[in-house]
Amino acid sequence: MRDPRTGSRGFDIPRQSAGSHESLAVTGTAGTGERPSPKGDASGPDWRNSYRDVVRVGEFRVMWLAHALSMTGNYLLNIAVTVLVFRQTGSALASGLTLALTFLSPLIAGPLLSGLADLFPRRSVMVVSDVLRAALVMCIGIPGLPVWGIWLLLFCSVLPMLPFGAARAALMSQIVQGERFVAGSTLINLTTQVGTLVGLAAGGAVVALVDARTTVVYNGLTFLLSAAIIALGVRSRPAPTVEGSERPGLWKVVRGGARLVFGDAHLRTLALLAWLAGCYIVPYGLANPMAAEIGGGAAVAGLIMASPSVGAVFGGLVLTRLIGPPTRMRLLAPMAVAASLPLTAWVFGPPLWLMAVLLVLSGMAASYQFVANAAFVLCAPAAGRGLAFGLVAAGLQVVQGIGIATASLLVEFTGSQPVIVAAGALGSLGALGLSIPWSRLSRGTVELMHRSESQ
């Protein structure tokens, strides 16, 4: 496309240098016409009102409702599909690999599909993604489908989530800015955690009462309902390209996005902090063998899987409601260390109640992801925001899938205890390494987040 500031051709995502954007599209507060203050609200009193302010925005409420439907359906889907596979194979490894597939899909197509959020109108990307996912999920419920067919459809059903998530993050930054975006992003993430709890608590009962295949079909309907809510409740905005310009190729967009993320110290460090989740997600993926080793069943496995989400809900609320932006930004790396450190206590063979406590503490510390997520989006230039977020989100799913798959394989030979200890040690060391550059970068991150919305 043609850059109106230079007259040159080619798709160039604006670069960042010395903590500021060299070129950046200007966005205001959607629906109000106001332009955020250049100083932002990083240290003023307004950040405490950000939750109240963001829920007053109608379009945000619509996106939140659609997300809540999708997330609850997603966790019900995971339970139903793992039940289908286990009933057909009787293999715990096959069941674990089924869950890992939901994380590994982005490895193949994640970066490419995320670029769609910066090529087409973002609302349209979200609606089409939900419709495609609904169709693929409903096909999983076809009677007599072999395991390889279930795996293939499940793998493909995750792919539309990638452009959907990238488009949602970028579109939200057009609807709300500054600390309201941080609050809105946190509410979305908290809803994901609550959706996990609801899915884990109700999923087994729903599958038992309704039947796994029927549950899968109903889950497909939740995605259709989400698409309808977004189409009716979010106003259409043009694609983030210059009017009248030539649309860039998808591969060109992806290359520009990769250079943006890994060429900027703030974005690169935030991305690596997020990817540490591949270590402390290991107990979630090993919940069933962990429960079996201590003589527990599905209820124990559900407790293990739910404990980190309980901690994340409380931790996220404390972090964003009671701690000011500069302090919470400095805490990201220490909290990343604390997210993995409780796993090393498995060396002592903790009883079930202590396992749950340790995982709650891990989840509380892992709520740093909510702030890192929002900081990444606001620090990225507007023209490449969807792709940049999508690349990192795809990488996050990949490292989580690799973590679960690797741990599931090792457990077959060593048991869960040494695998969890190793994951905790690896995550803690990685976070300690990132704390060195982050101690320097965190000082200017809040200012950069608000500057990105005022230039």
Q: Say which residue the tokens 């409601």 belong to.
A: 321
Residue spans of alpha helices (H) in 322-351: 325-330, 332-340
| CATH number assigned to the domain with residue range 53-240+262-451, chosen from the 4 options 1.20.1250.20, 3.40.50.720, 3.30.1490.20, 1.10.287.3510 | 1.20.1250.20
Q: Of 265, 266, 360, whose CA–CA distance to 316 is shortest?
A: 360
Residues pairing with 20 in the sheet: 17
Query: Distance between CA 196 and CA 72 in Å, rounded?
Result: 7
In Å, what is the CA distance from 148 to each residue of 85, 129, 158? 10, 23, 16
pLDDT of the chain along its 455 residues, tens only? 433 333 333 333 333 433 333 333 333 333 333 333 334 344 444 666 777 888 888 899 998 988 888 777 777 787 788 778 877 777 767 776 787 677 667 766 666 777 777 778 889 999 999 999 999 999 988 888 888 888 899 888 888 888 888 888 888 888 887 778 888 888 888 887 777 777 666 666 666 676 777 778 888 888 999 999 999 999 888 876 544 455 555 555 566 667 778 888 888 999 999 999 999 999 988 888 888 888 887 778 878 888 998 899 899 888 888 888 888 889 999 999 999 999 999 999 999 999 999 999 999 999 999 889 888 888 887 767 777 887 888 788 888 888 988 898 898 888 889 999 999 999 999 999 999 999 888 877 777 766 655 44
CA distance 375 to 380: 9
Residue extents of the structural domains in the chain: 53-240+262-451
For residue 390 the two structure tokens come to: 């999508």
Distances, alpha carbon 375 to alpha carbons 28, 189, 193, 359, in Å: 18, 14, 19, 25
Question: How far does the chain reach from its first CA to its final CA, in angstroms?
Answer: 21
Given a contact cutoff of 8 angstroms between Cβ atoms, the answer to whether 120 and 189 are in contact is no
